[in-house]
Every structure is written in C-alpha cells, then in structure tokens.
Structure 1
Amino acid sequence: MEFVIRIGVSVVTKIGECSVSSLGHQLGYLYYYKSNIEKLETQAQDLKNAKERVKHLVENAKRKGEEIENHVQQWFSTVDVISEEVESFLKDKVHANTGCCSNGSSLNLVSRYRLGRKAKKMTQKVVEIKDSACSGNISYVPVLQSSFPNKGFMAFDTRNSTMMGIMNALVDVNVGTIGVYGMAGVGKTTLVKEVARRALEEKLYDDVALIVVSHTPDLVRIQQEIADKLGLVFHEISISARADRLRHRLRNEEKFLVILDDIWKELDLVDIGITFEDDQNGCKILMTSRFKDVLGNRMTVQKNFPVELLSENEAWDWFRKIVGDPLKNSDIQLLATQIVEECGCLPIAIVTVGHALKTESLSSWNDALRQLQRSNPTSIEGMNEKVYSRIKLSYDFLGSEEAKSLLLLCCLHKEDANIGIEDLLRFVVGWGLFQDVYKTDEARDRLQIIVEKLKARFLLLDGDYYETVKLHDIIRDVCISIASVDRHMYNIRSNDDLKERLNKKKLKDSTAISLLCENVDYLPERLECAKLHIFWMWKIRHLQIPDQFFEGTKELRILDLSYSYLRILPSSFCFLQNLQALCLRYCWLRDLTSIAELKNLEVLDLSRSSIEELPRQIGQLTHLRLLDLTSCSRLKVIEPNILSSLIHLEELYMKKSFSKWEAASLSELKNLVHLTTLHLEIANSNILPKDLFHDKLERFKLLIGNLSGWSDCGTSRMLKLINFTKNSLLEEHGLQRLLKRSKELYLDGLKGVENIVHELD
C-alpha cells in the first residue's frame, strides 16, 4: 500500500508541475496512452508507404534521365532516422504496462505518462515528415554540357593554321561571327567539332550548341535544338515569337558558342533568334558551309577560314592508319598508293575507301582501283551514300541549269586537265548555253560569273595556269556519272570502251561524246547519233575519218578534232548545218574546202595548225563571230576580201601568226564593225591605215614594230610599240586612245615621238 501511495504522489507531483490550462492535456497522455501508441504505429506505416511511393517516383525520374533534387535525399535520410526511433520506441512500449509490485498488478503511471507523451510528439513529427514528401518537385531535367568525342580528327599540318586561326578568333572580343568553308567531304564538320571540344576543355565557353542546318533548313528545329541546350521551354507557336523568346534567353549567356553546321544558303539569324548583344563578347557564332560566297557575301561573316585538301603525304599516312596490317602485303601496298591518288586527297573518300577495303582480299583491291580509274566506284561500300550523294547534292543545289551544264561540260575534259576559260567560252557560245546573251563579250561575262560561282562552291578549282580551272578527281567522277545518267553525255576512255558502246548501241541517244583516249584505231563508217550536240575526238593520227561519218549527226553544234592529222575533211561535213563551233587546234591540215558547207558556224579555232594559206571558203562563213589563228606560224597567204567578208566577226586572234600584212589587207579589218577583240602583230608601222583601231576594241594585244616576240602577262589590253618613228601616227591610227586604255604597255626605240607617258593618266 505504501508503494502505491508513492506512485500516486509521483504522478500527482508531475501533474502539479503543469499549469491549470494544460492540465487536461497532460492527463490525456495517461488517458489516451493506448490510442497515441496506435496512432504512432499507423502513421509510421503510412510513412513507410510514403517512402516507397517517393522511391518509385525517384526510380522513374532516373529512367527518364532526370536528376533528383537534393532535398529528396535529405528527406530519405530523415525518414530513416525517424523510422529507427519509432521502431525502437514501439519495442519498449510494453514497459508502460509493467507494474512495480512483485506480482505485477500495479501499473507504472509515470512510464505510461512519459510514453504516451512521447508517442504523441513522435506521431506529430512522423506526420510532418510524411506530409513533406509531396512538397515541391522531386526531380529536374538537367541541362547537360555538350560532349564532343572526336575520334575522326587528326592534327594535320594542313589544318593547323586554320585551327589556330579559329581558336584565336574565338577569344577575339571584336569578332562575333566566324566562318569555315571548303568542298564537300573535306572535313569541315570534323574540324569544328574539334574546335568545340578544345573550347570546352580550355573553359573558353560554358557550353556549345552544334546544330546541323542542311540544304533544307528547318527553322523550328534549329530554334528547338538551341533551346534544349539552354533549358528553354517555348510556349509560343510562331517562329517569330519563338525567335523573340530565344533572343531574350540568349541575353543571359556570358560564354556560349553556337555552331551552325552545313549552311547552304543565306540564313537570317535575327529571324531565328540567334543574336548576341554588343556587350556579350564571350558569345560567338561559328558557321560552316561548302559555299564560300554564302558566308562571305551573303551572311557577311567577320572572319572566314578555308579547309583545304590534305597533302599527298597526309592522305597516305591517314589511309595507312585506317587500313593497318594489310598494307604489309607488298601487292596491296602497290594498289593502295594508286587508290589514295585516285581519292585526290579528299578526306571523306580516303576514310570511306580505307574502311571498305581494310578487310578485303587482293581481288577486291584490284576491283576498287579499276572502278576509281573508270570514274564509277559506286560499288565500293559507302562510296555512293557517303561520297557521291554529298557531291551530287551540291550539284543539285546549283539551281541554275547554265551552271550545271557548264560543270558537266568541264567533266568531258581529261582527268587533271587545266581547262582554259577561253576554251570554255568557245564551247558555250557554240552550244548556245546562255539565254538572252547575244554577243561574245556578254557570254564571257556570264561565263566568268558562273565559273566564280562554281569555284566558290568548290565544284571547280583554280588551275595550275593563268585563267584555267580544274576538276577534283572525285568531283569529276560524280559529274561523269550525272552526265551519263541524266544527260546522255559520255566519256569514252579506250578503244574497247568505244567498240562496246557502239556494238550495244549505247551511244544512240547521246547528246555529247568525249573520245579523248590515245591512238583511236577504230571508227564506224557512220555515227548514228541523231541527238548529238557535242563531239570531241582528239589525236586522230593514224586513222582517216570515214567520209560518211557525220551523216547521222545533223544536230551537232560543237566539233573538236584537235591534235589530229587531217589530210582532208570528210565529205559528210555538208550535213553539219547546225554546227556552231569547230576546233582544229594543233591539227595538220591539207584541205579545208569542205568548211564552206558550215554556213551557221560562229566559232572557228585553227590555232597552232599547219595551214599555210587561209582558205578562201572561210570568207563564206558570214555568221562567224570568233576566228582564232594564233601561232599559225606557217600561214603566209591571206587573199583579199576574206577577212572583210566576215561581217559579224567580234573576235580575231592572230598573235604569233601571219605577219606579211599590207595596207590593203589591214584596211579590211576596218570593215569589221563588230570587232571587240583583236590580237595582231604588224612588223611595219608605216603601212598602218588611218583609223584602223577604234573605240569598240575592249580587248586587244597589239605588237607593232620589231617582231621580237611576245611577253604576255595575261592582261586583256596590251600594246607594244617598237621603233615607232612618227608621233602623228599615234593619233591617226587610233593608237593614242589605246595607249590610255592599255593595262600592259611596252614602248621601245621610239624616235620623233614626244613624251607621251605623262598623258596616260
């Protein structure tokens, strides 16, 4: 009894410590002891269930690639702690029912009070933790920094200066836009990926967005890809509204690089929303294109850098690295050197061919070389989709049919040929290629524009000599394929090839034939090509062209038989009434009487031929616009009234040719009122007719006086006066006007001539 009284006193003492207002609350710990324990157990289970739900949300977020918020992990830790506390507490709850009497009949009211109070407070804490599980997002979509693994990049010497220039431009505060240009497959994308990798590695930028633009730019996609990199979500639908949002977001960036790869035409960056403010010096736009003019002229990029072809040594080193051990076989190595040469130092071709052949047999290597040499390597794995398709896309994107036709005309030349611009002019005039062009000078201007366009797009390259162009081997191969399939224009490489095509009647629908193989030993009696416009056959030296050969080519417009031995022109020339251009350069000629049949001829090139007398029949070619007699060193006779009959002649070339001029024959040139180009040499200045040279001459190369040879710097207006003795003759013959317009002027041995140099300004 005394012990029970002590317990009661203790409880009363604890209760007495509480204020009257909380007395009922404190008594509740005793009265609701069991209920508090049960609530704690229930809430603890609910917390466990909540933890499982959050765990499932976390796992789902991770599967989506999302990052988990830090507070979620902290919440899990808090749950674990409280769960351990609850579990420990519930294990000890039995003590609340344990009495202090030896028979256990008396309850420990103090323990019940304490445990009831602790269960109540612990329950409140568990509820708070459980409820906090749903507050806020548990995960977020991270904005990942770009990664540019660039295994395909090799630090070639031909790339180092370009790479260095670009990296310097990236840190130049005065440069906001940078361009990289080069032909298809030369490695522009690989280069800018390496630039991006280095820029991030050196912490020049916080991030880089690389977007492929392509020949059909999708502005919505471009905007979205940049937005994704910035973590920007568009709520707008229209491109212009999205552009405003993107511009606004980009203002927050301090070090951000945008790379727009493979631009084909002018792209208005403002319309897309890709702009940086003047004070955002750490932000740049880097662009690549296969068209130099797109970056330089249309998009006014501040700094442009070319990507050149590899050197021959670099090409071989790379190919060797790709192929590896098979090159230890001496037979394969011999083939490999020729294959690399056929790839023309173009990286994409080297990579494609190297990977295609590295596990193949010797037979496959032989077959691949033959295909490359015959300009038809589409059977080599990857060549069609990785190489040819890229270049054909550049061709297709030209748009202009004139540009396409000119490029296909170039591919009819021999491999690695230096193609003269003036030679092309004669072909395009004869072909009638240009619309709304009626004069040779007009055609020359149009030709120059298109050539520059093709060069800017790397479909043509600068030649090895002045005013020449070349085709890269792979570009030429693609063009040959296009020409044959789309235009029925054929390159015939051998006698066997010619015989096979003729036997199988593969040339029946041809529009152009280029037969530039050495030593042609067979020609059919009659060439049946009713649609043929261009026929090009060189070096016919041991074979006479059959008389009936041209009877089936009545639509022929261009005929080139240069470098040939032609004793007599075939009688079937009379069927070539539509022929516009005839080229007989470097020909051994005996009889040109049949030329009179070519009534519609506009271009006649007899340069460097063996003619000794200008055929009288040429005077009947009244539609002739261009006559080239350059370096006809055997030419001694030009009968009267031949030149004066050429009333539509616009260009006359007689440099290093006929020199036995007389006053009467020179006077015939005055009748050529349409003449705009004149190359001429006259030994005796005293026979010059009055007003021989008029203001219409736009292009001239004149040597008057001592014919000591030409020193031609390639200018369009050259005048050389040697031992000229009368000042008055300058004005009388029109030379005074030409002096002032000359770009290249030689004056030597002048006597009785006043100082004229000060008048040239």
Structure 2
Amino acid sequence: MGYVSPSSLMDIFNLLKACCSPSCNYIMTYDGTFSSLASEVGQLKDKSSDVKRDVEAATRDGMTPRSEVLGWLSSVQDMEGEAESIERKYNQKIKCLCSFPLNICSAYRLRNRAEAALATIRELKQSAEFTKLSDNLNLTRSIKMPTTKTIGMDKVFEELQRHAKDDSLSVIGIHGMGGVGKTALLRRFNNDFPSETEADVVIFLELSIDYKLEEVQKSLFDRLSLTWQDEVTHRDRATKLFRVLSTLKFILLLDNLWEPLNYQVVGIPLPAPPSKCKIIFTTRTEDTCSHMGTEKMIKMECLEEEAAWNLFRNSARMDVIDADKNVRIEARDLVKECGGLPAALIVLAQAMAPKKTWEEWIHALTIMKDTPHQLPGMTNNVLSILKLSYDRLSSDNLRVCASYGALFEKGSWIYKYNIRDYWIGEGIIDNADTILDATRKTQFLLGILHAASLTVRVDDVYFTMHPMTRAMILWVQRECGKKENKWLVLNREQVKEENWRDAERISLGVNQIRELPETPQCPDLIFLNLEFNELLSKIPNGFFLHMPHLKILNLRNTSIQELPASIGNLVQLHYLDLSRTRITSLPKEMAALVNLKLLSLAFTTSLRIIPDQLFSSLRELQWLDMCDSYTGWREGQIWEGGVSFEELESLKRLRVIGITVSTLAALQNLCISPRLAAFTCWLYIEGCRDLTLFDIPSKDFHLENMLEVFCIRLHAMCELEEVVIGNLKPILQSLQQLRLSSLPKAKLVWRATFPSTLFKLEIDGCGAIDRLIKLEGEANGSGETVITIFPDLHTMVLRRLPELKSLSDGERILNFPSLKTIKVEDCPKLTKLTLVADGLKEIKCQRSWWEQLNWGDERTKSFEHLYNPMNID
C-alpha cells in the first residue's frame, strides 16, 4: 500500500466536506420540519373531528353527506396515516441518535416525505370550509292517503288551495262539526298536492284524541326518516326536529286536533310570512283555531240539499231509486233527515243499498226520524263520532246546556232568552244580580257550545241544533238506546201515559194535545214541557200528585184557565212558565213552591186574582215576569184587596221584575220603592186614564231610579198626548226597547241632550203621529241637517199609523247608523223614506204599500233593493 501524506488527506477531507455540506445541513435541520408536521396534523385532526361530528348528525337526521365532504375525510384519514408513518421512522432512525442520521440518503428521503405531507395537509386545511356538508333528507315528497268521497266540497277545496298558495298565510285552520268531511278534505289536499310547488315535503299526521307529546314527535321522526332513540329527552328531540324542519320547505297537515298544539315544545318551527312553509290543521273547536295562531279559518258547512242527494246516490249503488218513483220520494226524505252531514249520508246509503221495496224505505224513514241508532253503522260511524264533541265539554253543566237543544223541535230556531230562563230553572245560572248578567252568561255558555260545533248560530238571538247532533244527544240521554222512554221528546204526537213512568224529561211542545193523564206516575221526572198545546184547556186535579222531583214546568201558550191544587206537591219546582195562558187566578197551594226561582206570568191578560201573601211564600224567587198581566196592585189599606208591593219587597233573592201598572198611584209606589225600582227590567203602563204626559226618565215618578229597565211599553191610554225622551243624564242607559201602542193622541218628542241606547222602537195604533219623532230644544236648534239621536237603533216597527208622513222632522233628517230592519204595516200616508240608514238590510212590508212609494224621491230610491214581503194575518 502506498504512502499518503497528511496534507493529501486534509485535501480529500475538505473536498468531501465541500461536497456534502449542503446535504448535511439539510439533514441536520429537519427537526423543525417534523415539528411543524406534528402541529399541522393535530390541527387537521381537530377540524376532521368537527366535520365528522356534523356529518354523523346529518346522517342521523336522514340527510346524505356530500361526496366532496366524504372525499375530504378520506384524504384526511390517508394523511393521518402518512404522518404517523413518517413520525414512526423519524423516531426510530434519527431522533434516537440525537438527530444525526447513520444513513444520510435515507434521512434525506424521509425529510422529503415530511415536507410533501406538510404541503398536502395545509391544502386539506384550506379546503375544509364547506358551504354545505350534506344534501336534503332522503324523503318521499308526499304519501298518498286513503280517502272518502268529497262530493259537494269542490268550493271549499278550491278555497283551501287558494289560501295554501298565499305566501302571506302560514297557519290555516279548518273547523266544523264531526262527520262534516274535514278529514276527507285534508286527505284530498294531501293527495292532490300540485307537483310544481316548491315544497320539499308534505307531512300528514292524524292525531289521536288525547295525543301525547312523544306520540307527535315519534310520528314526525318516522315521516322524516330520523333515528329515534328512547333515551333522548323530549327537549333534545324537539331541537333535532326544529333543526331539520328549518332546512325544509314543509307543508304540515295535522288532522283531528282537539287541543292546541304547542309548536315550540314539539319542535315545529312556526313559519313567519312570507313563507312557502304551511301548517294546516282540522279541528271541531273554533277555540283551537284561535290558540294555534291561525291566520285564516275555513268553516266546513254541511252539504246543500242537492249536493247531499248526489253524495247519497254515489255512495252506494241503488238502482231501485231510479226504478221506483215512490222509493225515490222516500229516499229524498231520508236524505233530509241527515241534515247534509256527509258521514251520515254515506252510512245511510250503505245501509239502504240492499233495500228493494217501498215498504222497507218507509220503515227506514220512520227509524231515521225517531231512533236512527237502529240503522246499521249509524251508532259506530256517526253518533259515536259526534258524541266525542259532547264528551269533551269541560263540565257536566256544559253537557246539560248542550242537552237542552235536543228538547226543542227538530230544526227549530231556539230563542236564546228561552234557554236563559230554562238554565235559571236548572240552576246553571244562579244568583245573577241583573238580567244583563244572566244574559251575558247565557251568551258565554252558548259561545262555548257554538265553538264546539254542538250548536249552530243563526244570529244574535237565535241558534239551532243539527238534526244528527240532536239525535246523538237523545241517544246518549237514553243510555245509548237502552231506555227509549227516559227522554220523551215528541212533536205532533199523542200522549201515551204508559211511557211516562221511566221518563226524566218530557217535551211535548207544539202538539195537538187536548187531554192529559189523570194521575201519571213520574217518580224521576224533572222536566215537563207542554208549551204551544193550544187545545189543552184543563189539567186534571191529580196530575201533579206523583212528580216529586219536577224542577221545570212549562205551560206557555196553552189554553188552561186554572191550575189544580196538586200544583202544591211540586215542592222541588224551580221554574214555572204560565205566560200567554188564559189563567184567571193563582191557587193558594202555590205557596208551597218554596224553591221556585223563576215565575213567568207574562201576557196572562185574564189574571185577576192572586191570593194574599202568596208571593211572600216564594222565598227563593229570583225572577218574576208579569208584563201585560196582573194590575190589581194594592194602593192603600189591606181591605182594598190586591197584592201589595211590600210583598214583593220581602223577597230577598228577587233580582229581576217585569211588571204592569194601570194607575198613577201604582206607578208612583213602584218608582219610590228602592228595591223594586232597582230590579224592574220590563215596565208596562196601560190604561192610566189621568196620564197626559210621560217623560223618559220622569221627574214626576222618579223613573230615573229604574237603572236596569230595558223595556218600556205604554199602552191603551186615550189622554196621553206626549211621550218625551227628556234631557236628564243618563237617559236610562239600559233602555233598549220602547213600545207605544193604542195611544190615539200621543206624539213622540225628543228633548234630550245625549243620544239614547234604544235598540228597538215599536209604534202601533198611534193615530196622531204624523212624523216619527218631534225634535225640540237643542236638537231642533242645532242647525245640523242630519241628526243622530238613536245611534244603536237596530229595529223599527211602524204599524197602524194613519197620519204618519215622514220618518224625520221637517228639514232635519234623522240618521240611524245601526238600523238593520224596518217593518211597515198600514201606514198609507208614508210615501217617502226620508232618513239616512247606510246599514239597512231589509224593509218588511206589504207589496201594495211598497208599490205606492214615491220612487222619484232620491232618498226613497236608494232603498229600492231592500224590499222583503211581509204576510199580514
């Protein structure tokens, strides 16, 4: 081996050093690279965890992660693996030797891998800001529902569709009685939902009567394909539902809501208009619509007669209807019994489909009128459905209130004041301080029944009951058909004494009854109505002997002339109506009626004798109506005869009085009695020979003490010349009705400063009246052409006024802003309608008078479209 000098070795070393120095420096400084890689990987893992969590949540919510997100997560997973591999080799081959590599080439390649990984990781971090992690729910847009026929519902269906397309409406409520077709309408809407709309999903939920929160949430989870977990709280489920539905344009259809649904608790976002989202629901109760934030309510009505006939014919194949004219007539009558209720029409059609003979159809009509539950399917598919509304009333008292509608004739209009009086007798309305309080409570209770679709409002004072609702109540009260005689409600039928024994309520009004059973055994009877049996003139002596629990007795509009002594057996009686009877005296046995609350003797014009101290025995009496009745009030000593006002004053519970007086002394005594004046609601003054001027209110008679009087009638006074509405304040603010009749010399004069609250003005047989009212004082001198003195007047009746020429006073035109009805009869000189009445709805009159009006007059011509024919008996 040759010799190498030291200087040569140094040269070689320096040459190697010069060659390797850049690479060695590169290797020696890669600690920073691996440190940066570890930091970036940690940040990427954190971001990846956030994205994974959101993707998992979206997946649980039934949504599909986007491909770019899944690809990014896959790349992240790959880079995490690469970083782990680099870190492992670094720890094994370099870090353990104090960062000095034994194999420089291997270390060089490792650092290159690290730098490449670092660049990729940084790119992944930058691309992690996704605008959308997942696509919409993987949902079926709508699911078809089975439905029944919707014949006759096209108009309301079009209305629903129109409102559903209106972006300004978000919550729509459909309400109506059971069986009217609300579910069929909503299902048709669901099935016919137009494909061109922007909604992402249509959700149909049919709720049970007493649905639970969990039940509603579970149904929504299932429909949205969300994962249900039993251990999750209601609140967390609501949060998830809210999050998912907030991303969708949804149409939520809720069928059969009995109680308001709390959107927030369930997790349903309440759409804020303008919005494509809608919540549409059906309910039987109008109150539910109000509590659900409804922006539009749709009332589902029963079908009109022809639509009902078409639904009946199309619900079952019945060739016999076309083949037999007589069967077709009976079929038409059967359809009318359903009152246009679709559920009843469909059930009836199915029941009658196999009936081929006229006799079968006749028998079915008899059953439908009296006991419809005997027809196949009627109990389960109609009456039981309607019963749900009855059962859902919040108290037994309300169910009693509803039941009263079934005691009236089918289809009749029920006067709310008659119901009020019955409810006083029943004890539902008790201790009302004024007649106004009693009327308001009646209206409140009726409002609940109307809202529950158990009664139907006709107008402000009348309501009715659907025939199938009435049939349902009778079926319920007869223990679901087990005791048919428990409630006897018969019209135009004969009395059968044997049916009375098990009866609790008997209503035989509007019949042709001439005779009553002698001594009927009625141990459970609490209600007996015999009104409008005008042929009934006598009640047998023993008739009331065996009715120990009778509470309500109505004999109104019968021809009875006296009550039997057995009336004294009715010690539980609360209500006795003898109005418009021919009774001449009250028996002394009535003193036993110590629980009587309401006694009506109104329009008993033949009543002359009332036993002394009879009234003072009726210690529970709250309501006494003697309008157009007894006038024999005692004015002096006891030997003069008659009933004293002191007797009435002794009745501590008395709150409402209707009274008739015929002398100035009786009127004076009435008005100065603090209790009687305060409780007088109806004041009838008739036959006062010395009365020539009557002021309302009257200073002479202290009429201003009668703050609760709402009706004043002045009748048959030949010397009365003026009826003056005076200028005191207030002008009897409760006065609503003023009736002037048979006053040949009287004129109506206005001297007041303040408008009157009068609601109805009736003038009949007042021969001297040539203008409606004579204006005096400030009204006459006001200089105004148009004057309003009766701003609340609703009805004006003008009858037998031979000199009446004008409805105003000279140049002063009267304005009646609230007037709805004018009735005119036998007013031959009234040829112009000189008044202002922008709200007038009808002028009821005879055609002969209408045709003789001066239609050339501009004001008269403005009313030419308001004619309503009136038949004069």
| TM-score normalised by L of structure 1 | 0.70
2:598 aligned to 588, 595, 603, which one? 603
Structure 1 gaps, min length 5: 1-140, 709-714, 731-735
Does 1:583 pair with 2:577?
Answer: yes
**Superposition pairs of residues 12-27 of structure 1, within 5 angstroms:** none
Please state whether the residue corresponding to 1:601 is helix, strand or coil.
coil
Does 1:336 pair with 2:344?
Answer: no
Does 1:369 pair with 2:365?
Answer: yes
Does 1:693 pair with 2:693?
Answer: no
2:773 aligned to 748, 755, 759, which one? 748
1:651 aligned to 650, 656, 670, which one? 656
Question: Is the Cα contact below 8 Å between 2:408 and 2:507 reproduced in 1?
Answer: yes
Q: Structure 1, residues 611-663: CA drift from partner, whole Å, max 9, x if none?
A: 2536355644454332334455xx66555454453224433346xxx573424
Question: Is the Cα contact below 8 Å between 1:322 and 1:351 reproduced in 2?
Answer: yes
Please state whether the residue corresponding to 2:265 is helix, strand or coil.
helix
Partner of 2:562: 568
Question: Is the Cα contact below 8 Å between 2:238 and 2:265 reproduced in 1?
Answer: yes
Does 1:189 pair with 2:194?
Answer: no
**d(CA) in 1 for partners of 2:777, 2:710:** 25
**d(CA) in 1 for partners of 2:286, 2:491:** 37
2:148 aligned to 147, 152, 155, which one? 152
> Residues 278, 517 of structure 1: CA spacing in aligned structure 2 closer, same or farther, 3 A cutoff?
closer
Tell me the amino acid that sits aligned with residue 212 of structure 1: E
Question: Is the Cα contact below 8 Å between 1:495 and 1:521 reproduced in 2?
Answer: no
2:667 aligned to 665, 670, 673, which one? 665
Q: CA deviation at 1:350?
A: 0.6
**d(CA) in 2 for partners of 1:410, 1:402:** 14
> Residues 322, 671 of structure 1: CA spacing in aligned structure 2 closer, same or farther, 3 A cutoff?
same
Question: Is the Cα contact below 8 Å between 2:502 and 2:522 reproduced in 1?
Answer: yes
Q: Structure 1, residues 13-55: CA drift from partner, whole Å, max 9, x if none?
A: xxxxxxxxxxxxxxxxxxxxxxxxxxxxxxxxxxxxxxxxxxx
> Residues 381, 686 of structure 1: CA spacing in aligned structure 2 closer, same or farther, 3 A cutoff?
closer
2:263 aligned to 265, 269, 277, which one? 269
Q: CA deviation at 1:596?
A: 4.4
> Residues 468, 278 of structure 1: CA spacing in aligned structure 2 closer, same or farther, 3 A cutoff?
closer
2:736 aligned to 715, 718, 721, which one? 718
Does 1:535 pair with 2:532?
Answer: no
Question: Is the Cα contact below 8 Å between 1:153 and 1:194 reproduced in 2?
Answer: no
Q: Which moved more, 1:689-698 or 1:169-178?
A: 689-698
Q: CA deviation at 1:444?
A: 2.8
Partner of 1:428: 423
Please state whether the residue corresponding to 1:568 is helix, strand or coil.
coil
Q: Structure 1, residues 73-131: CA drift from partner, whole Å, max 9, x if none?
A: xxxxxxxxxxxxxxxxxxxxxxxxxxxxxxxxxxxxxxxxxxxxxxxxxxxxxxxxxxx
**d(CA) in 1 for partners of 2:182, 2:599:** 44
Partner of 1:167: 161
**Superposition pairs of residues 384-463 of structure 1, within 5 angstroms:** 384-434=379-429, 440-463=435-458
Question: Is the Cα contact below 8 Å between 2:179 and 2:344 reproduced in 1?
Answer: yes
> Residues 495, 175 of structure 1: CA spacing in aligned structure 2 closer, same or farther, 3 A cutoff?
closer
Question: Is the Cα contact below 8 Å between 2:173 and 2:298 reproduced in 1?
Answer: yes
Partner of 2:587: 593
Return the structure number with greater relative CO, CA threshold 8 A, min gap 6. 1
1:493 aligned to 474, 485, 490, which one? 490
Q: Structure 1, residues 164-188: CA drift from partner, whole Å, max 9, x if none?
A: 3322222222221111011111111
Please state whether the residue corresponding to 1:225 is helix, strand or coil.
helix
> Residues 661, 460 of structure 1: CA spacing in aligned structure 2 closer, same or farther, 3 A cutoff?
farther
Partner of 2:624: 627
Q: CA deviation at 1:325?
A: 1.6
Partner of 1:309: 302
How many residues align? The count is: 594
> Residues 681, 664 of structure 1: CA spacing in aligned structure 2 closer, same or farther, 3 A cutoff?
closer
Question: Is the Cα contact below 8 Å between 2:170 and 2:275 reproduced in 1?
Answer: yes
Q: CA deviation at 1:382?
A: 1.2
1:281 aligned to 259, 262, 275, which one? 275
Question: Is the Cα contact below 8 Å between 1:419 and 1:470 reproduced in 2?
Answer: yes
Partner of 1:237: 232
**d(CA) in 2 for partners of 1:716, 1:204:** 57
Partner of 2:120: none
Q: CA deviation at 1:259?
A: 0.6
> Residues 466, 280 of structure 1: CA spacing in aligned structure 2 closer, same or farther, 3 A cutoff?
closer
Does 1:349 pair with 2:344?
Answer: yes
Q: Which moved more, 1:611-620 or 1:662-671?
A: 611-620
Tell me the amino acid that sits aligned with residue 685 of structure 1: L
**d(CA) in 2 for partners of 1:398, 1:389:** 15
Partner of 2:15: none
Tell me the amino acid that sits aligned with residue 487 of structure 2: Y
**d(CA) in 2 for partners of 1:748, 1:277:** 57
Please state whether the residue corresponding to 2:583 is helix, strand or coil.
strand
Partner of 1:514: 507
Tell me the amino acid that sits aligned with residue 300 of structure 2: V
**d(CA) in 2 for partners of 1:369, 1:758:** 56
Q: CA deviation at 1:292?
A: 0.7
Question: Is the Cα contact below 8 Å between 2:433 and 2:655 reproduced in 1?
Answer: no
2:519 aligned to 526, 538, 541, which one? 526
**d(CA) in 1 for partners of 2:144, 2:354:** 29
Please state whether the residue corresponding to 1:173 is helix, strand or coil.
coil
Does 1:251 pair with 2:253?
Answer: no
Question: Is the Cα contact below 8 Å between 2:435 and 2:681 reproduced in 1?
Answer: no
Tell me the amino acid that sits aligned with residue 559 of structure 1: L
Please state whether the residue corresponding to 1:526 is helix, strand or coil.
coil
Does 1:553 pair with 2:547?
Answer: yes
**d(CA) in 1 for partners of 2:294, 2:542:** 59
Compute the RMSD of aligned alpha carbons. 3.6
Tell me the amino acid that sits aligned with residue 622 of structure 2: R
Question: Is the Cα contact below 8 Å between 1:519 and 1:540 reproduced in 2?
Answer: yes
Tell me the amino acid that sits aligned with residue 345 of structure 1: G
Tell me the amino acid that sits aligned with residue 535 of structure 1: L
Partner of 2:471: 477
Q: Which moved more, 1:336-345 or 1:526-535?
A: 526-535
Please state whether the residue corresponding to 1:411 is helix, strand or coil.
helix
Q: CA deviation at 1:153?
A: 3.7
**Superposition pairs of residues 32-51 of structure 1, within 5 angstroms:** none
Question: Is the Cα contact below 8 Å between 2:537 and 2:561 reproduced in 1?
Answer: no
Q: CA deviation at 1:358?
A: 1.3
Tell me the amino acid that sits aligned with residue 504 of structure 2: T
**d(CA) in 1 for partners of 2:399, 2:228:** 42
Q: CA deviation at 1:510?
A: 3.6
> Residues 669, 512 of structure 1: CA spacing in aligned structure 2 closer, same or farther, 3 A cutoff?
farther
> Residues 561, 707 of structure 1: CA spacing in aligned structure 2 closer, same or farther, 3 A cutoff?
farther
Q: CA deviation at 1:191?
A: 1.1
Please state whether the residue corresponding to 1:559 is helix, strand or coil.
strand
**d(CA) in 2 for partners of 1:258, 1:421:** 39
Tell me the amino acid that sits aligned with residue 146 of structure 1: S
**d(CA) in 2 for partners of 1:672, 1:611:** 29
